[in-house]
């Protein structure tokens, strides 16, 4: 009946590009209103329709081909833009070619897996974690789930577990940005025994469940025991990246700055980002997840009050705390602008985006901020909190290291590694931009190239290289413009999902227990001006370390479209006690964009 009604409206209006609001009753179709969609020019319309249809068919074939491959353990796979290494949050749901290829090169090809293997998880380094559909980044969920099980676990049990995880995600698609906390068993925690009972309904025997519990306990204890040594390796990785950055720049200063030398230096910087950078980051980020999972299980079981956890998170000092403190010193003439920019100048609002200005490039960036000192003192845990006895009673070996130190150190090391990683990445992007300028290309043009092409072709004669890159830029720019007309869902379960796009209601990740009401401000393009954020609830699609300047402007709260419970912005907001809703999803986010004022009640979610 609905299809018949739509056909009738199309005949009456002589238009098939319509936005139709309707309701379905037991017997009838009710049409509330009909609006024409913005029409394309006739010739453009034909080109776009053909391109979109071709892309849908190409994506469907690619999806089915991947499904046909023999996977590690599971029966099928699902694709998500926010599971595991959440690409939609890091590079956006529709990134530029260079952004995508950089993230793939530095993280998603194999580095993501190498760090997990060091902890004793499955060896999945032969599988790339990210797949691209019409330029959009997706995580291969089956590969992700397989990589988060201990390699010592019985293969038959692993296979049953992964099929259970996949089924649970299919039934609860809104959990795709919370898989580590709501779906998977990646470590031991205080809710594990209760959660494992769900497996009985899915064909697991009591003996299999007991084995899973015992293995996860041993696995978690091994990580706790190895933690001090892992911290030393993280410190070593930070020092090595610093040293390599210094040596590469020194060497470049003594040679001619032509495009070959600039691209060679950029490649060396990016290799340092991969190893030791990403590999060690993958390790410590996983431990930070384990610490957070344990902490949340203490809260869920009622052994630690949420106020204690909130105060503890607020006591942690990461680079964002240092950023605020150093900026305050600069404002009060106790720290020079030169010193400040030497330390933080590499940050940019879009870590992988060559077109985003760095802090040290944006004219009067910080002067425009009109810094407002946060008068509320940062909560400090002056009293040493002991390891909750319940953890020891559950045979978790927090004897050599205090549990709270384990959580704090893993989070701090994660953020310190990320900070150093972004420095080398940012410097590499600047060298690539200079090489592009040397060849006659703007930053926008370079953003339409793949990083592997730049490195692979760098030794060709300048005239030949310019011609090849120009052809690639024209081709990739055209394809990107056409791909923008295609809509893809956040989750892909079957080939039908490329034709009928469905959005689930996402449950945001709430930070703090505060309740606020305030006017909103939507952050989009930051090239032109720095808006006033004081006492406003900031709304932004996705945010990475380059957006840490937001916190210096004393916002009332923060809401993001993409982001997980332990993502960069979630940790930042918890550290500062800033009320936030991280990862609202497409549906709720679009609604919020039409609001003027929002009530954000984090305690009651």
Q: Which of 308, 272, 299 is nearest to 105 (CA)?
A: 272
Token pair for 334: 């106790």
Token pair for 470: 């120009």
Q: Kindly state the DSSP code that residue 23 receives in the 8-state scheme.
A: E
* Contacting residues for 276 by C-beta, under 8 A, at least 6 apart: 233, 236, 237, 240, 241
Q: Which of 231, 347, 352, 243 is nearest to 280 (CA)?
A: 231
CA 299 to chain centre: 25
Q: Kindly calculate the radius of gyration of the chain based on its CA atoms and give it in whole angstroms.
A: 25
Helix (H) / strand (E) containing 245: helix 206-253
Catalytic residue among 51, 259, 346, 568: 568
- Please report, for residues 131, 195, 408, 566, the alpha-carbon distance to residue 190 in angstroms, rounded to integers and kept in the order given: 35, 10, 19, 19
Q: Are 32 and 22 in contact (CB under 8 A)?
A: yes
Alpha-carbon gap, residue 513 to 310, rounded angstroms: 8
* Contacting residues for 358 by C-beta, under 8 A, at least 6 apart: 345, 346, 347, 348, 426, 430
**Unique residue bearing structure tokens 């001619």:** 256
Would you call 369 exposed, middle or buried from its count of C-beta atoms within 10 A (0-12, 13-18, 19+)? Answer: middle
Q: Catalytic residue at 568?
A: yes
Helix (H) / strand (E) containing 11: helix 2-13
Q: Are 241 and 346 in contact (CB under 8 A)?
A: no
Q: Are 50 and 524 in contact (CB under 8 A)?
A: no
Alpha-carbon gap, residue 576 to 379, rounded angstroms: 9
Report the sign of the C-alpha dihedral through residues 412, 414, 416, 418, in that order.
negative
Provide φ and ψ at 520, rounded to 5°: -105, 160
CA 280 to chain centre: 17
Query: Facing residues of 80 across strands?
Result: 139, 491
Alpha-carbon gap, residue 558 to 539, rounded angstroms: 6
Alpha-carbon gap, residue 335 to 317, rounded angstroms: 19
Q: How would you list the strands of the sheet with 580-582, edge to edge?
A: 509-511, 580-582, 557-560, 537-540, 515-522, 597-601
Report the sign of the C-alpha dihedral through residues 315, 319, 320, 325, in that order.
positive
Q: Are 554 and 578 in contact (CB under 8 A)?
A: no
- Please report, for residues 25, 235, 500, 540, the alpha-carbon distance to residue 1 in angstroms, rounded to integers and kept in the order given: 11, 65, 18, 40
* Contacting residues for 571 by C-beta, under 8 A, at least 6 apart: 318, 411, 415
**What residues act catalytically?**
568
């Amino acid at each position: 009946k609905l299809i018949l009604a739509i056909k009738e409206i199309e005949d009456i209006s002589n238009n098939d590009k319509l936005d139709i609001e309707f309701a379905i009753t037991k017997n009838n179709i009710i049409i509330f209103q009909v609006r024409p969609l913005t029409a394309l020019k006739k010739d453009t319309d034909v080109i776009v329709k053909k391109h979109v249809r071709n892309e849908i068919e190409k994506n469907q074939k690619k999806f089915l081909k991947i499904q046909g491959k023999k996977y590690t353990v599971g029966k099928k796979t699902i694709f998500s833009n926010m599971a595991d290494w959440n690409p939609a949050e890091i590079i956006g749901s529709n990134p530029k070619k260079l952004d995508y290829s950089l993230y793939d090169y530095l993280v998603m090809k194999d580095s993501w897996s190498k760090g997990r293997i060091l902890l004793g998880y499955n060896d999945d380094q032969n599988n790339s974690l990210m797949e691209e559909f019409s330029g959009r980044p997706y995580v291969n969920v089956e590969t992700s789930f397989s990589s988060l099980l201990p390699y010592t676990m019985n293969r038959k049990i692993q296979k049953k577990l992964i099929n259970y995880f996949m089924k649970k995600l299919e039934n609860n698609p809104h959990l795709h940005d919370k898989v580590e906390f709501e779906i998977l068993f990646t470590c031991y925690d205080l809710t594990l025994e209760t959660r494992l009972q769900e497996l009985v309904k899915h064909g697991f025997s009591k003996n299999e469940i007991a084995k899973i519990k015992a293995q996860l306990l041993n696995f978690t204890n091994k990580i706790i025991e190895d933690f001090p040594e892992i911290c030393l390796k993280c410190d070593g990785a930070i020092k090595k990246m610093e040293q390599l950055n210094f040596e590469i720049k020194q060497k470049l200063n003594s040679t001619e700055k032509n495009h070959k030398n600039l691209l060679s230096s950029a490649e060396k910087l990016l290799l340092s980002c991969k190893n030791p950078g990403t590999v060690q980051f993958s390790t410590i980020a996983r431990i930070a997840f384990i610490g957070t999972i344990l902490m949340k299980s203490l809260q869920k079981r009622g052994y630690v009050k949420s106020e204690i956890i909130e105060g503890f998170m607020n006591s942690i000092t990461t680079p964002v705390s240092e950023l605020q403190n150093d900026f305050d010193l600069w404002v009060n003439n106790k720290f020079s602008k030169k010193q400040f920019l030497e330390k933080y100048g590499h940050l940019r609002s879009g870590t992988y985006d060559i077109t985003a200005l760095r802090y040290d490039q944006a004219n009067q960036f910080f002067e425009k901020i009109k810094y407002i000192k946060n008068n509320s003192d940062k909560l400090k845990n002056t009293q040493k909190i002991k390891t909750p006895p319940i953890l020891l009673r559950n045979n978790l070996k927090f004897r050599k290291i205090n549990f709270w130190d384990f959580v704090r150190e893993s989070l701090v090391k994660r953020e310190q590694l990320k900070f150093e990683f972004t420095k080398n990445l940012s410097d590499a992007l600047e060298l690539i931009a200079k090489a592009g300028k040397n060849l006659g290309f703007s930053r926008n043009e370079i953003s339409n190239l793949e990083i592997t092409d730049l490195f692979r072709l760098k030794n060709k004669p300048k005239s030949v290289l310019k011609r090849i890159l120009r052809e690639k830029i024209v081709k990739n720019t055209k394809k990107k413009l056409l791909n923008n007309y295609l809509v893809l869902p956040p989750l892909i379960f079957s080939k039908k999902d490329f034709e009928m796009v469905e959005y689930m209601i996402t449950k945001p990740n709430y930070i703090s227990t505060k309740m606020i009401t305030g006017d909103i401000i939507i952050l989009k393009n930051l090239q032109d001006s720095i808006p006033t954020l004081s006492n406003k609830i900031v709304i932004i699609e996705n945010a990475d370390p380059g957006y840490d300047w937001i916190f210096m402007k004393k916002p009332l709260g923060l809401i993001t479209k993409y982001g997980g419970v332990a993502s960069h912005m979630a940790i930042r907001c918890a550290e500062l006690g800033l009320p936030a809703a991280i990862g609202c999803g497409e549906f709720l986010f679009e609604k919020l964009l039409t609001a003027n004022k929002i009530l954000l009640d984090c305690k009651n979610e």
